[in-house]
Amino acid sequence: MSDVLVLEGPSTLDGEIPIAGAKNAALPCMAAALLTPDPVELENVPPVQDVFTLRELLMDLGVDVQVAGDRWTLQAEQVTSTTVPPELTRRMRASFLTLGPLGVRFGSAEVVYPGGCAIGERPVDLHLAGLEALGFAVDQAAARVRIRARRLRGAVFEFAKVTVTGTEHLMMTAAAIPGTTVLRNCAREPEVVQLAELLRQMGADVEGAGTAQIIIRGTSSLRGTAVRVIPDRIEAGTYAVAAVLTRGRVVLRGARAEHLTALMEHLKGQGAFIEVTAEGVVVDARAVADFRPLRVVTEPYPGFPTDLQAQMMVLMTQALGVSEVVETIFPDRFNHVAELQRMGARIELAKPAARVYGPTPLRGTVVAASDLRASACLVLAGLIARGTTVVTNVYHLDRGYVRMEEKLRQAGVSIRRVNPDPRPSTMDLHG
Ligand code: UD1
């Protein structure tokens, strides 16, 4: 059985929380290490399960991965396989990012479809259309896809829909193809900008990352380099919501407010005081009176992130009036709703939207996490619920948050991890 988290509420956040490196920035950078036989050094790598899963996958392919604290060195000098291990790909969608880099460097590669997941269908058609445009033959069978380099060349490709990993996948593949590639309707997330920075340091010419059009002049001789992974804006955003929700105060050490504009606007709208200091971002909600109803529409960056939607819904349960979430990225991403209802929330679900009628007191009970961000939402609900909240299936949370219970405990929350199984917990295993 997986660990559970036990919270005694209600509590108030008060303290400092260090923000880890962004897993969604670390993962594409790790995949990009496949593009060169030289060492690629990543600093500030977060010790979360998704990152460990990709490490395992890369090591299975023959990549040497040296870990010294948060400094990881990856060297793809002796890649022994171009078939991505299926069970690891199924476990984590970002593994799909290894396909293009393997294909461009070794001529062919094979991977199983990552398939749907708890937050709904997640197709990869745009990744594949882009790889075809770059000159790969794409052979799709029932469960797997194989690419073969036919005549690789720079290309002009427009994404039919904004996709984060799709943009990253084509950007890194194009970086290793001599010629000019123009990608249009790109994702503008800070994680895309970080990858562009890495690729530039590796020797490609990448312009426009952070805008809708990215121009890449690739080279077949990418080299090793070192980068520092940017802070995790979703982790920071989760604790910012927690501080406001509990009318507390938190210093998010190392966070970058400019990556969280859409969220911060909502929190300021609630009367929270947000200050950017040399240390990070201070969120102070001690003077907040009643919460106002909110309307959140998830959108590609710089819009409101889908990865913070579930957490925001907890705040909505405490607002005076009717709030609304419209989920435009993953219309099925509402796994948290039933659990919040069991805690006392009044939510009407009509996908892709949900209406939240507040305020309703929440009460502690046993709730089951079903995906990464839904788990974070349930922990936040446990902060304001009366009594004991037990969040089960914590392995979802461990995929993306570094020791959440320790960080919350340091900020004054009564929370503990319990391992109902005598075997060592994930945290014990990975330090
Ligand atoms: C990334 C993030 C994830 C975040 C999501 C949206 C990583 C590792 N994960 O996921 O945390 O929730 O962005 O911000 O960075 N789509 C297609 N065809 C494709 C690809 C995507 O139709 O080939 C659709 C998806 O179904 C979805 C939308 O595009 O509706 C955006 O998804 P995408 O940005 O690709 O999400 P991920 O990159 O998988």
Distance CA 368, CA 349 (A): 19
Using most ligand atoms within 8 A of CB, pick from 117, 131, 163 the residue to mutate for ligand 1.
163
CA of 277 to the centre of ligand 1 (A): 32
What is the pLDDT, as a whole number, of residue 122? 74
pLDDT at 387: 97
Answer whether residue 85 is part of any domain.
Answer: yes
Is the CB of 306 inside a 6 Å radius of any atom of ligand 1? yes
Contact between 92 and 122 under an 8 Å Cβ cutoff? The reply is no
**In the predicted structure, residue 53 carries a pLDDT above the cut 80:** yes
CB 384 within 8 A of CB 246: yes
Structural domain for 262, as ranges: 4-20+231-418
Going by pLDDT thresholds of 50, 70 and 90, the confidence category of residue 370 is confident
Q: At what angle do helices 233-245 and 372-384 cross, to 10 degrees?
A: 20
Rounded to the nearest angstrom, the distance between the alpha carbon of 122 and the centre of ligand 1 is 7
Write out pLDDT tens, residues 219-239: 999 999 999 999 999 999 999
What pLDDT sits at residue 416? 97
CATH at 67: 3.65.10.10
Q: CA of 185: how far to CAs of 155, 159, 199, 208, 376, in Å?
A: 14, 5, 20, 11, 30
In a domain, 429, yes or no: no
Tokens describing residue 321: 């009036």
Whole-number pLDDT of residue 421: 62
At residue 427, does pLDDT exceed 50? Answer: no
Q: How far is the CA of 12 from the centre of ligand 1 (A)?
A: 34
- Quick check: CB of 253 below 6 Å from ligand 1? no
Residue 120 has what pLDDT?
64
Identify whether 428 is part of a domain: no
In a domain, 423, yes or no: no
List b or e across 167-177, with b for residues whose CB sees 16 or more CB atoms inside 10 angstroms.
bbbbbbbbbbb
- Is 94 close to ligand 1, i.e. is its CB under 6 Å away? yes
The reply to whether 91 and 204 lie within a common domain is yes
| Cα dihedral 327, 333, 336, 338 in deg (nearest 10) | 90
Same domain, 400 and 294: yes
Average pLDDT, integer, range 47-60 = 96
CA dist., res. 73 & res. 80, Å (int): 18
Q: What is the CA radius of gyration of the chain?
A: 22
pLDDT of 80 > 50? The answer is yes
The protein residue whose alpha carbon is closest to atom 30 in ligand 1 is 329
Q: Provide the residue type at 42 as one letter.
A: L
Query: 223 and 84, same structural domain?
Result: yes
Whether 78 and 14 map to the same domain: the answer is no
Looking from the CA of 359 toward its CB, the CA atoms found within 13 Å total: 13
Q: Residue 91 carries which DSSP code?
A: H
Q: Is residue 425 part of a domain?
A: no
**Residue 194 shares a structural domain with residue 67:** yes
Do 312 and 197 lie in a common domain?
Answer: no
- pLDDT tops 50 at residue 189: yes
- Mark which of 228, 254, 279 sits at the end of a domain: 228
Taking only the tens place, the pLDDT of each residue in 294-332 is 999 999 999 999 999 999 999 999 999 999 999 999 999
Ligand 1 site-directed mutation target among 92, 161, 326, most atoms within 8 Å of CB: 161
Instruction: Give the C-alpha separation, 139 to 135, whole Å.
Output: 13
Task: Measure the CA angle with vertex 19, ends 289 and 306; round to 5°.
Answer: 65
Same domain, 215 and 237: no
391 Cα to the center of ligand 1, angstroms: 26
Local structure of 203: helix, strand or coil:
coil
Q: How large a percentage of the chain has pLDDT more than 90?
A: 90
Residue type, 76: A
Q: Once rounded to an integer, what is the mean pLDDT over residues 228-252? A: 98
- Domain co-membership, 278 together with 142: no
Is 166 touching ligand 1 by the criterion CB < 6 Å? Answer: yes
Q: Which amino acid makes up residue 190? A: P
Instruction: Note the pLDDT of residue 119.
Output: 63
122 lines ligand 1 (CB under 6 A): yes
Report whether residue 126 contacts ligand 1, using a CB cutoff of 6 Å: yes
Nearest CA to ligand 1 atom 8: 24
Last residue of a domain, one of 172, 202, 228: 228
Note whether residue 269 is domain-resident.
Answer: yes
pLDDT at 198 over 90: yes
> Are both 185 and 237 inside the same structural domain?
no
Q: Do 43 and 9 share a structural domain?
A: no
Cα separation, 95 vs 117, in Å, equals 14
Write out the H or E segment, with its range, that includes residue 77: none
pLDDT of 270 reads 97
pTM above 0.75, yes or no: yes
224 and 235 fall within a common domain:
no
Predicted pLDDT at 113? 83
Query: Which residue, of 228, 258, 287, is where some domain finishes?
Result: 228
The amino acid occupying position 416 is R
- Give domain status of residue 206, yes or no: yes
Tell me the pLDDT of the chain averaged across its residues. Answer: 94
Q: Is residue 172 within 8 Å of residue 165, measured between CB atoms?
A: no
Give me the helices (H) in 179-308, please: 190-202, 233-245, 261-269
Other C-beta atoms closer than 10 Å to the C-beta of 195 total 27
84 and 111 share one domain: yes
- Between CA 43 and CA 271 the distance in angstroms is 36
d(CA 405, CA 239): 12
Q: 88-131 pLDDT, tens per residue? A: 888 888 999 999 999 999 999 999 887 545 666 678 999 999 99
The count of domains in the chain is: 2
Amino acid in the structure at residue 385: A
pLDDT at 428 over 60: no
Q: Which pairing describes strands 346-350 and 353-358: parallel, antiparallel, or unpaired? A: antiparallel
For residues 306 and 298, what is the distance between their CA atoms, to the nearest angstrom?
5
pLDDT value at 430 more than 90? no
Assigned domain for 81 exists: yes
Q: Is 117 a catalytic residue?
A: yes
- The pLDDT value recorded for residue 118 is 65
Beta carbons of 358 and 318 less than 8 angstroms apart: yes
